[in-house]
Each structure stands twice: as structure tokens, then as C-alpha cells.
Amino acid sequence: MRKFLTKIFIYTLALSLITIAVNALCIYRIYSSNFGSMSDKKNDSAFIVNVPEGIQICNFGSSHGYYGFNYDDAGEKYTCFNFALPSQSLRYDYKILEQFRDKIRKDAAVFIVISHFSFFGKPEVQGADFASKNRRYYRFLDSSRIDEYDIKTNFYVNYMPALIADNAVSFLRLLFKPSGDMWNFTTDPEAAKVHALVRYKGFIADKKDNEGRRLFNREAVEALMKIIALCHELGAAPILITTPYLKEYNDAVKKNDPEFYGDFRAVIDDVVRHTGVKYYDYSEDERYTNDYSLFFNTDHMNRKGARIFTNTLLREVLCIETN
């Protein structure tokens, strides 16, 4: 009996040490300064880190903002930062702006990325992937700003992250982040045709009810109005932007839902009318829509494309040169 209990103790101790070691490695990889915004002026894809003081130019948004902005050329003259995250909503854009408001200078330019899915669909907390997306905010937002905050989730996210990996793949990605990512890839016409229909379905077709009526997400518009109001309170200039898409994506939308663009622009026009902000739509800009070397799929720019696009914004919208 004594030997049996000793074995149980040893096995339990070994398992505990392994668990602690694996989670410690996860935490180290997550919070290591090697995976932040130091070189690219772009945060990690899982959360926001290394936010500088005195930000002069920044952007918010979903993956279109995350991949669409590259401040490499502007970083020598200006303090820039990318606050976007993949699948990030306008609601969380506002929460992040609130959190880091003291980091933004009074005269800053704040680009707010508006994607085709931004104003439509069910409320965010009703999404099937809400829980998995929401967990990342436990790493850098105050608890009062996190939807449906749960202290147990906070413990697992920050101290035992390996135990909540959604599956083996995400667990391995957490441990062994690759040195490169999609930001360095390019696409081609055949891949773009396939991807365009996938994106159209996710961005537009899936944002309707069972009767085929477009679902208007009022909370998203309210969040955008709050972002604009807070920017004005800070003395910063909010600027609405839609990033470039390849022609294949735009064609898929026009073919399958020709009324979408009218509905989309109606919301933006209403916001512009009530706030006086400027809106710049680059989604069909011919300087980008046919150049596959600037994208890694139909609606996300790669590093080269983001660099060119960001410099275009700085030159055409802010009237500044980076060289």
C-alpha cells in the first residue's frame, strides 16, 4: 500500500510539474517581447502588446486593419501603432481606444477600418465563436471592459493557457509560433476566385435572417459613434477607411447581392452626416484591385501591399510624406 501511494504521489508530482512547465512555456511565448509590435508597428495576432506613448498615427479594425496597415516607412518620423485584431468588432475597437486613450496624442490621426461585415449580423455575444475570440481580451484589457467577464476564464487564460487551447492544432501553434505568416504570402487569380465566394458567404450571405433579410447590427453603429466621439474628446481626428479588395471579391458581391453596396453605404453616409467625419473607400481602387502581388487572398493585403497602401493613406489623406 505504501509503495502504491508513493507511486501515485510521484506520478501526480510529475504530471503537475509537466503541466506547470508547459503552461510556463506558453506564457513565455505569449508575452515574450519577440512577438510584439517592436519591428512591424503591428501587434501580435492574439492580443495587443508594446503600446508606445505619444501615438501620432494609429488604426483600429478587424483583420483588414491588422493586415492592411504597415507603418515601416512612417515609423522613422512618427509614432504609429496598429490596434486591429483579426475578427475584432467595432465594439472592442471602442473598448481598446478607451483602455489606451492616454497613449494617443491630442493631434493624432485615428484610422477606423470599416469592413463589409461591420454593420450587419447578429449581436457579437451571440456568435458561435464569441467565447474563443473573447478570451484574448483577458490578456490586456481591464476586466470592466471584457464582455461576460469570468474570473475562472481569467485564471486559465493568464496562468494556464495550455489547458484552454481549443484543439491540438491551436495548442501547438501556441507553443511553436512559426517565424513567418500569411502577411508574407501572395495569391493568384485561381485561388482568388475560390476565396472570393467563401468571403462573400461569410461577410454578407451569412448576415441575413431565415427570411433572407439583412440583419442590421445596431450595437456596431453605436460603437462607431462612440469611437468618433471619444476621438473628438481626445482632440484626435477619426477617419473612416475601407481597405482594398481584389476584383474577384467585389465581383462576387455584385453578382450575388447587388443591393449590398447601397445598404452598406447608407449606414456610412448616415454616420458621416451626423458626425462630419471623412470616409475613404479603397475597396474598388484600381491601383490595387488587379494586383495579386499585393494580397495574400481576395480581401487581405500582404506586407508589400500594406506598406504601399499605408503610404498612400499618409500621402492622400494626411498629406504627409514618409521618405
Q: Is 33's pLDDT higher than 50?
A: no
Q: Are 122 and 253 in contact (CB under 8 A)?
A: no
At 320, the pLDDT band (50, 70, 90 cuts) reads confident
User: Taking each helix axis from N to C terminus, what angle separates 247-256 and 189-203, rounded to the nearest 10 degrees?
Assistant: 50
Q: Is 155's pLDDT higher than 60?
A: yes
Alpha helices in 113-258 (DSSP H): 130-135, 151-159, 168-175, 189-203, 218-234, 247-256
Distances (CA, A) of 5 to 9, 12, 68, 281: 6, 10, 58, 69
CA distance 58 to 73: 14
In the numeric block, which cell numbers belong to residue 260?
Answer: 449590398
Residue holding cell 505569449?
Answer: 30
The reported pLDDT for the residue numbered 115 is 97
**What's the chain's length in residues?**
323
Q: Is 10's pLDDT higher than 90?
A: no
Q: Above pLDDT 90, what percent of the chain? A: 70
Section 142-163 average pLDDT: 84
Q: Is 36's pLDDT higher than 50?
A: no
In the numeric block, which cell numbers belong to residue 72?
Answer: 515601416
CATH topology of domain 36-128+181-316: Rossmann fold (3.40.50)
pTM of the model: 0.86
Q: Are 320 and 312 in contact (CB under 8 A)?
A: no
The reported pLDDT for the residue numbered 167 is 39
